[in-house]
């Protein structure tokens, strides 16, 4: 893994997404160069894979829909200008179109769609869709001021509730839209280090317009005519854009498959065919897809199996062909005992962490520091990770992993050594006799998170904390709410981009769930996207890492190990450590019966 791999992460990677973003992970997600297979014959065969999370939204770019499984389904059903391969390289998909820098100062990037592209309902994919995608994910139209405590809008308008970072791209404007609606140019006011992962294609604008009750052409014109938002001078909201945004924010969320097929259209190789909630989802080939990334088999079934051992059993019984379980020593041994099963291991771009809410009981920094001093990180790693990775140690950075050259420098500077060992007496001193109650949320269906909760609860009690079990299977929907004081969960990355700090740790970040605000971190979040010097980006990131530990933001726990296990009827699987996991090159998979 390269030195830039972990921090250069930006929700769901892959073709079809706009600026990628870090995604929530309920547990784990897990590699080949990937290449076009447009002329490959299609076998009438079904491949079944297991996933831990239940699907919740077709819109994985939204704050509500930012969950790893939603991003995976998006990856399967969306075509776009690029995908990310197992070397964490951005690979252009020229069968969709091209994008290139056409001017460096100011930065201009021109996007050109291939002729004949269609959504699965037969409607053409045009620059209208790209213009809408830019509006939904750039933040350029917003003029809102947010309350730093509640996150509520206090003045102006926030149109689209995008999960990722808008830093850098929000300085862009659209120009030179061609008459044939196949080409446009983004012009940036400033340099932008991540210009190559701005893919623009998002939801079909004709569907958004219809469901929002507005005219599509009027919506596109409104976006192009709307001045850039200025929070210092908020204007009356544009009602056409506001209606479209209101639908985009939640209109693609679902608990079962709608009868209205327009709500789950595809631009990619696969299209959703059926969904049995809590059980499985079936995808079929999209007959409107004309790109190069065509699968070699006809049906893909996603089984929702939350328990790792149940995944192993399903693989053993031939009920599924591929699993990416949360790996433990016992799970790994069980997999190695299975006949006709291939196993691949590697590091994931996923880390488990404990975050504290900067309100309520943790508004007091002394209480935050005291709580963090009780976290038995070594015990957690020894119990959960060492059986799989014998030399595993706690992760000592919020922003780097050990494979990166800058990790050691970050650890030396960031102050993480204050939490190297449990310090009950130090915690008691900070509490000065207080016995705070802490509601700790985690995913009750994730064995590692359950074990982490139990270890933290027992250790914190020794210092006087009353840790209340706020575990839930709906944990992701509750993030940012006032239903908890601390939370254990994971971030998983596509391995590209520099959006981590702006997205998660900036006060204006789309995934800042704990009301954290630090002026230095906010300044760094704005500076990194316009910085092209990678050494300077490292220095800025170390500075931000140090601020996080100084503020007792929370603690990273461990980087997760990964394992893919699959039936030997499949070939072409290569390990991938990002949030896309092994499906990153589904078009290369082959099935033998």
DSSP states of 296-327:
SEEEEEEEE---HHHHHHHHHTTS-SEE----
Asked if residue 319 is part of any domain, the answer here is: no
| Cα–Cα distance, 86 to 235 (Å, whole number) | 45
| Structure tokens given for 474 | 């709906």
Asked if residue 362 is part of any domain, the answer here is: yes
Q: What is the CATH number of the domain that holds 416?
A: 3.10.105.10
| Structure tokens given for 179 | 């008459």
Number of domains in the chain: 1
Asked if residue 196 is part of any domain, the answer here is: no
Asked if residue 496 is part of any domain, the answer here is: yes
Alpha helices in 87-162 (DSSP H): 127-138
| Cα–Cα distance, 28 to 492 (Å, whole number) | 8
| Cα–Cα distance, 330 to 309 (Å, whole number) | 9
Please report where in the chains the tokens 């379980």 appear, as a residue: 325
Q: Specify the DSSP element, H or E, that contains 45.
A: strand 43-51
Asked if residue 108 is part of any domain, the answer here is: no
Asked if residue 512 is part of any domain, the answer here is: yes
pLDDT per residue of the chain (593 residues) written in tens, 0 to 9: 232 333 222 323 222 333 345 555 544 332 334 555 556 689 999 999 999 889 999 999 998 898 889 999 999 999 999 999 998 899 999 999 999 999 999 999 999 999 999 999 999 999 999 999 999 999 999 999 987 666 688 999 999 999 888 888 999 999 999 999 999 999 999 999 999 999 999 999 999 999 999 999 999 999 999 999 999 999 999 999 999 999 999 999 999 999 999 999 999 999 999 999 999 999 999 999 999 999 999 999 999 998 889 999 999 999 999 999 988 888 999 999 999 999 999 888 889 999 999 999 999 999 999 999 999 999 999 999 999 889 999 999 999 888 788 999 999 999 999 999 999 999 999 999 999 999 999 999 888 899 999 999 999 999 999 999 999 988 988 999 999 999 999 887 777 888 889 889 999 887 899 999 999 999 999 999 889 898 999 999 999 999 999 999 999 999 989 999 999 999 999 999 888 999 999 999 999 97
DSSP state of 415: -
Residues 6+ apart with CB under 8 A from 474: none
Residue 295, burial from CB neighbour count under 10 angstroms (0-12, 13-18, 19+): buried
Radius of gyration of the chain (CA): 23
Residues 6+ apart with CB under 8 A from 475: 26, 441, 442, 443, 444, 487, 489
| Cα–Cα distance, 261 to 125 (Å, whole number) | 17
Asked if residue 250 is part of any domain, the answer here is: no
Asked if residue 31 is part of any domain, the answer here is: no
91-95 long-range contacts, CB within 8 A, separation 24+: 91/34, 93/15, 93/291, 93/292, 93/293, 94/292, 95/36, 95/38, 95/290, 95/291, 95/292, 95/293
SS (HEC) of 184-247: EEEEECCCCCCHHHCCCCCCCHHHHHHHHCCCHHHHHHHHHHCCCCCCCCCCCCCHHHHHHHHH
| Cα–Cα distance, 17 to 3 (Å, whole number) | 24
| Structure tokens given for 212 | 């929002």
What is the extent of the structural domain holding 409? 348-560
User: 275 has which bridge partners?
Assistant: 281
């Amino acid at each position: 893994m390269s030195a830039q791999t972990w921090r250069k992460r930006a929700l769901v990677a892959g073709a079809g997404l706009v600026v990628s973003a870090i995604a929530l992970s309920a547990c784990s997600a897990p590699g080949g160069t990937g290449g076009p297979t447009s002329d490959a014959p299609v076998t009438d065969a079904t491949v079944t894979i297991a996933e831990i999370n239940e699907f919740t939204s077709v819109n994985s770019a939204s704050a509500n829909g930012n969950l790893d499984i939603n991003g995976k389904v998006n990856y399967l059903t969306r075509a776009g200008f690029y995908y990310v391969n197992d070397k964490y390289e951005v690979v252009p998909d020229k069968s969709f179109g091209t994008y290139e820098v056409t001017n460096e100062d100011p930065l201009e990037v021109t996007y050109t769609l291939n002729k004949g592209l269609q959504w699965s309902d037969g409607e053409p994919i045009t620059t209208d869709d790209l213009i809408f995608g830019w509006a939904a994910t750039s933040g350029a139209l917003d003029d809102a001021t947010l309350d730093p405590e509640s996150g509520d809008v206090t003045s102006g308008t926030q149109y689209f509730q995008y999960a990722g970072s808008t830093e850098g791209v929000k300085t862009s404007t659209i120009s030179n839209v061609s008459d044939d609606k196949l080409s446009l140019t983004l012009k940036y006011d400033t340099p932008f280090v991540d210009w190559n992962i701005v893919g623009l294609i998002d939801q079909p604008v004709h569907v958004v317009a219809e469901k929002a009750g507005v005219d599509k052409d009027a919506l596109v014109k409104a976006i192009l005519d709307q001045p850039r938002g200025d929070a210092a001078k908020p204007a009356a909201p544009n009602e056409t854009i506001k209606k479209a945004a209101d639908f985009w924010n939640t209109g693609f969320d679902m608990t079962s498959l709608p009868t209205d097929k327009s709500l789950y259209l595809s631009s990619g190789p696969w299209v959703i065919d059926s969904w049995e909630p809590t059980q499985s989802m079936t995808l079929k080939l999209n007959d409107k897809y004309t790109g190069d990334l065509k699968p070699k088999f006809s049906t893909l079934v996603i089984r929702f199996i939350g328990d790792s051992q149940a995944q192993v059993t399903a693989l053993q019984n031939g009920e599924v062909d591929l699993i990416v379980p949360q790996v433990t020593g016992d799970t790994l041994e069980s997999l190695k005992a299975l006949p006709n099963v291939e196993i691949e291991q590697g590091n994931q771009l996923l880390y488990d962490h404990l975050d504290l809410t900067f309100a309520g009981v943790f508004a007091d920094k002394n209480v935050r520091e005291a709580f963090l001093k009780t976290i038995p990180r070594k015990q957690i790693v020894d119990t959960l990770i060492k059986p799989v990775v014998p030399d595993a140690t706690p992760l000592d950075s919020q922003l780097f992993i050990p494979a990166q050259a800058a990790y050691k420098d970050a650890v030396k500077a960031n102050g993480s050594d204050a939490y190297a060992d449990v310090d009950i007496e130090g915690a008691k001193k900070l509490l000065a006799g207080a016995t705070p109650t802490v509601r700790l949320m985690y995913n009750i269906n994730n064995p590692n998170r359950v074990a982490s909760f139990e270890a933290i609860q027992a250790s914190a009690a020794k210092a006087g904390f009353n840790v209340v079990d706020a575990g839930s299977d709906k944990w992701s929907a509750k993030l940012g709410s006032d239903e908890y004081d601390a939370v254990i969960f994971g971030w998983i990355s596509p391995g590209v981009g520099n959006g981590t700090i702006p997205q998660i740790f900036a006060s204006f970040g789309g995934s800042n769930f704990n009301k954290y605000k630090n002026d230095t971190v906010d300044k760094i979040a704005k500076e990194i996207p316009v910085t092209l010097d990678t050494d300077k980006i490292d220095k800025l990131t170390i500075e931000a890492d140090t601020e996080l530990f100084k503020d007792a933001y929370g603690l990273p726990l461990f980087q997760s190990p990964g394992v893919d296990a699959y039936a030997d009827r499949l070939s072409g699987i290569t390990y991938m450590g990002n949030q896309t996991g092994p499906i990153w090159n589904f078009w290369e998979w082959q099935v033998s019966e």
